[in-house]
C-alpha cells in the first residue's frame, strides 16, 4: 500500500514537471529525456510510471476538462442570478489558471497534439462547457443584467482574459489581480439602467 | 526587374503559407517539406526563396513587432485623450489579428523558438511596446478617465481579449465582433462619475 502511494505521488511529480516543460518549451519540443532529467530519473525508470508523452498530455487535458465541467455543474445549479454565475465562473478560471500549472497545457492549444479518441473526447467536453457558458450569458442578457453583446464575443473575451494570469514573472498580487480582472470584465458586461 | 518582382511575390506567398502552417500545426511541427508542398514547390526550389524555417519565423515576428510599434507611434503622437488612444490601440489589435495571418505566429508564443539575436531583439521591441501602452493607461487613470485598475492587469486583459478573434471558424461578423469587444473592454475600464 505504501509503495502504491509512493508510486502515485511520483506520478504526480512527473505530471507537474511535464506540465511545466510543456508550458516553457511546448509539448512537441519536450522529450521524455528532458522529462526524466527534470524529475531526476533515468529514462528507463520513467517508463515504470508513465507509458508515453501522449499519455501525459491526454491525462492533463482530460483532467482539466473534467475540472472545468465539475465547476460548471456546480455554478449552473446554484440559485443565483446569471451575473453571479458568471462571476463565479471568472473566479474559477482565474483560480485554476493561477494555481494549476497543468491548466496552461490545455489552454495553450497543446491539446491539438492529442490523438484519437482523446482529441474528439476533449473537443466534445470543451464544446459542452462553452454551450453551458453561453446559455448563462444569454440568460443574463434576457434578464437585462448584461448588455446586449454577442454572447460568443462576451464568452471568448472572458475566457481569453483569464488565460495570461499564470505568467508568474509578472509579479502581481494574485488577489488584487483577480479582483481587477473581474472588475474590468463585469463592469464591461453589466447593463446599467 | 520583372523576375525580381515575381520572386518577391513568391516570397510573400511562402510567408503566408508558412504562417498558416505555423498557426495550424505549430512552428516545430511544420517541416520545410510541408511548406514546399503547401506552395507547390520542390523542397530544393523552396531554398531559392528562403534560407530556413527560422528565417521565416524571424521575419514574421520582427515584421509584426515593427507593425505594432509603428501603430503605437502614431497613436502616441495623436492629439486625443488617453481613452481615445486606447480605443485606437484596441482597433489596431483587432484589425491586425483578423486580417493578418502572420500575426498569430507572434501572438501564439511561437517567438519563443527564435534564436539569438532575434529573440532578444523581439523581446526588446515587445517590452518597449508594453511600456508605451502602460504609460497611456496610467495617464488615463491619472486623468480620471479610467478606473483605478492595476495598469498591467488592464493591458494584459486588452491584449489577450484581442487574440482569439482570428479564429475564423467562429463565423462572426467582423465589424460586429470588433464593436462588441471594444464596448466590453472600454465599458470595463471607463470611470463613470
Q: How many Cα atoms occupy the beta-carbon half-sphere of A104 within 13 Å? A: 24
* pLDDT of B5 strictly over 60: no
Q: Give A93-137 pLDDT, tens digit per residue.
A: 888 887 777 776 666 678 888 999 999 999 999 999 999 999 999
* pLDDT of B30 strictly over 70: yes
Q: Are A93 and A178 a contacting pair, CB within 8 Å? A: no
Domain end call among B15, B34, B51? B51
Q: A41 is written with which cell numbers? A: 530519473
Residues A19 and A89 in one domain: no
- Pick from A26, A161, A172: CB nearest B161: A161
What is the rounded distance in angstroms from the CA atom of residue B151 to the CA atom of residue A170?
12
pTM over 0.90: no
Contact B184 A26 (CB under 8 A): no
Q: What is the 8-class DSSP label of residue B190? A: B
Whether A177 and chain B come into contact, CB under 8 Å, resolves to: yes
Residues B74 and B163 in one domain: yes
Arithmetic mean of pLDDT, B66-90 = 94
Contact B184 A149 (CB under 8 A): yes
Q: What is the 8-class DSSP label of residue A146? A: B
Residues B126 and B44 in one domain: no
Residues A74 and A18 in one domain: no
Q: Report A:99-158 residues touching B (Cβ under 8 A).
A: 108-109, 112-113, 147, 149-150, 152-154, 156-157
| Number of domains composing chain B | 2
Adjacent-strand bridge partners of B146: B190
Whether B91 and chain A come into contact, CB under 8 Å, resolves to: no
Domain end call among A34, A51, A68? A51
Residues A151 and A68 in one domain: yes
What is the rounded distance in angstroms from the CA atom of residue B16 to the CA atom of residue B56?
10
Residues A105 and A172 in one domain: yes
Residues A108 and A38 in one domain: no
Q: Give A21-55 pLDDT, tens digit per residue.
A: 888 787 888 899 999 999 998 888 889 888 899 99
CA angle (B166, A125, B110) in 5-degree steps: 35
Longest Cα–Cα distance of chain B, Å, equals 65
- Percent of chain A residues past pLDDT 70, beyond the cut: 88
SS3 of chain B: helix, strand, coil, percent, to 5: 75, 0, 20
Tell me what ipTM this predicted complex has: 0.75
Exposed/middle/buried for A93, CB within 10 Å: 0-12, 13-18, 19+?
buried
Residues B66 and B100 in one domain: yes
Contact A170 B159 (CB under 8 A): no
Domain end call among A51, A77, A93? A51
Residues A9 and A102 in one domain: no
Residues of A within 8 A of B165 (CB-CB) are 156
Give the CATH number for residue A173.
1.10.357.10
Which comes out higher in pLDDT, residue B135 or A4?
B135
Residues A34 and A80 in one domain: no
* pLDDT of B75 strictly over 90: yes
Residues B71 and B166 in one domain: yes
Q: Give B143-155 pLDDT, tens digit per residue.
A: 988 888 889 888 9
Q: How many CB pairs under 8 A join A and B?
A: 102
pLDDT of residue A70: 96
* pLDDT of B130 strictly over 90: yes
Give the CATH number for residue A38.
1.10.10.60
Distance from the Cα of A1 to chain B's closest Cα (Å) equals 42
pLDDT of residue A32: 92
Arithmetic mean of pLDDT, B66-78 = 95
Residues B79 and B35 in one domain: no
Arithmetic mean of pLDDT, B32-48 = 90
Chain A residue with the nearest C-alpha to that of B112: A25
Domain that holds residue A185: 54-189
Chain A residue with the nearest C-alpha to that of B108: A108
Amino acid at each position: 500500500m505504501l509503495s502504491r502511494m509512493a508510486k502515485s505521488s511520483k506520478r504526480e511529480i512527473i505530471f507537474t514537471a511535464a506540465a511545466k516543460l510543456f508550458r516553457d518549451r511546448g509539448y512537441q519540443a519536450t522529450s521524455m529525456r528532458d522529462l526524466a532529467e527534470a524529475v531526476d530519473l533515468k529514462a528507463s525508470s520513467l517508463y515504470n510510471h508513465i507509458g508515453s508523452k501522449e499519455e501525459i498530455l491526454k491525462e492533463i487535458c482530460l483532467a482539466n476538462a473534467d475540472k472545468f465541467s465539475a465547476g460548471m455543474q456546480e455554478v449552473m445549479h446554484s440559485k443565483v442570478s446569471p451575473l453571479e454565475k458568471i462571476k463565479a465562473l471568472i473566479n474559477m478560471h482565474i483560480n485554476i489558471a493561477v494555481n494549476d500549472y497543468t491548466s496552461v497545457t490545455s489552454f495553450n492549444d497543446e491539446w491539438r497534439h492529442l490523438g484519437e479518441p482523446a482529441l474528439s473526447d476533449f473537443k466534445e467536453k470543451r464544446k459542452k462547457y462553452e454551450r453551458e457558458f453561453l446559455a448563462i450569458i444569454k440568460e443574463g442578457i434576457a434578464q437585462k443584467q448584461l448588455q446586449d453583446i454577442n454572447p460568443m464575443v462576451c464568452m471568448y473575451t472572458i475566457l481569453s482574459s483569464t488565460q495570461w494570469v499564470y505568467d508568474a514573472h509578472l509579479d502581481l498580487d494574485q488577489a488584487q489581480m483577480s479582483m481587477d480582472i473581474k472588475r474590468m470584465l463585469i463592469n464591461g458586461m453589466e447593463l446599467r439602467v
